[in-house]
């Protein structure tokens, strides 16, 4: 647990905040004293999260109902946010991954849609929010991507491609952003999120197995022997958003229970 006042006076935007890792990150960052903007498409889920944040003593969140793949929609949402908080110092780029499937079966439209939702949306947000970070002399950009950056995951062809592009984009920016403004990636392993459950259900259907059996197979490849809880990822994100992580820059950090074989 981090100091509860570590982010007091800071404002954060958490994308994909309605569920899973994004939701967990929003709770942790709000608990550390930041005021959070919650961005996702599902307003009802965001309202539920906002109530939970206020119940734990957090500042009143700003809800932005927007689709990361629709530029005009996203721009309007950020205008609403900046009218409320004036500037953002912490940006969490997080979005649900593309549908599973072999890369050879993916269409150009599917690749373009994923690139727009992940890389182009993240780039737009950085361009919009960087002036406030620069003025504050404090900025934290954290991208939630995947261990597929290091080792591609079979059956996730489009996701592997786009996550790798995001990692290279972030590493490039790490050399261009001003001092005090850092950018890093976390690489979640198998984490108990709705997306992982959907992938498991799909693989169970294809193989004639069960979701429980699929999850047991995943766990057998993880030295920790279990799936991650989203809160564990949220705490890592909160650390990278904190002053304590000020000298960490351009890193892709696996949070996978030791599953990756690469160094």
Residues of the chain with pLDDT under 50: 1
Q: Which run of H or E residues covers position 112?
A: helix 108-115
Q: What is the pLDDT of residue 194?
A: 87
* pTM of full prediction above 0.85: yes
Q: What is the pLDDT of residue 2?
A: 54
Q: Which run of H or E residues covers position 241?
A: helix 230-241
Q: What is the pLDDT of residue 199?
A: 86
Q: What is the pLDDT of residue 19?
A: 95
| Domains, the chain, ordered by start | 11-190+229-255 (3.40.50.720), 193-227 (no CATH)
Q: What is the pLDDT of residue 4?
A: 67
Write the DSSP assignment of the chain as a string of letters.
---TTTTTT-EEEEETTTSHHHHHHHHHHHHTT-EEEEEES-HHHHHHHHHHHHHTT----EEEE--TT-HHHHHHHHHHHHHHHS--SEEEE--PPPPPB-GGG--HHHHHHHHIIIIIHHHHHHHHHHHHHHHHT-EEEEEE--GGGTSPPTTBHHHHHHHHHHHHHHHHHHTTSPTTEEEEEEEE-SB-SHHHHHHHHHHHHHHT--HHHHHHHHHTT-TT-SPBPHHHHHHHHHHHHSGGGTT--S-EEEESTT-----
């Amino acid at each position: 647990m981090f100091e509860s006042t570590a982010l007091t006076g800071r404002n954060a935007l958490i994308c994909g905040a309605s569920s899973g890792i994004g939701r967990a990150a929003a709770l942790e960052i709000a608990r550390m004293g930041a005021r959070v903007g919650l961005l996702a498409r599902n307003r009802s889920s965001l309202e539920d999260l906002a109530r939970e944040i206020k119940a734990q003593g957090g500042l009143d969140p700003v809800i932005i109902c927007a689709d990361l793949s629709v530029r005009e929609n996203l721009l309007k949402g950020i205008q609403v946010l900046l009218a409320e908080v004036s500037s953002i110092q912490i940006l969490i780029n997080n979005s649900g991954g593309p549908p599973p499937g072999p890369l050879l079966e993916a269409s150009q439209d599917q690749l373009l849609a994923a690139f727009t939702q992940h890389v182009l949306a993240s780039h737009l947000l950085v361009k919009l929010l960087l002036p406030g970070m620069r003025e504050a002399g404090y900025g934290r950009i954290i991208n939630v991507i995947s261990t597929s950056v290091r080792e591609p995951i079979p059956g996730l062809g489009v996701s592997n491609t786009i996550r790798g592009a995001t990692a290279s984009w972030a590493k490039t920016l790490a050399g261009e952003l001003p001092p005090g403004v850092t950018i890093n990636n976390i690489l979640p392993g198998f984490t108990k999120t709705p997306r992982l459950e959907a992938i498991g259900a799909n693989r169970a259907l294809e193989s004639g197995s069960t979701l429980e059996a699929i999850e047991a197979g995943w766990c057998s490849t993880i030295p920790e022997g279990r799936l991650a809880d989203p809160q564990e990822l949220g705490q890592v994100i909160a650390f990278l958003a904190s002053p304590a992580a000020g000298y960490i820059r351009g890193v892709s950090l696996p949070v996978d229970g030791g599953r990756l074989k690469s160094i």
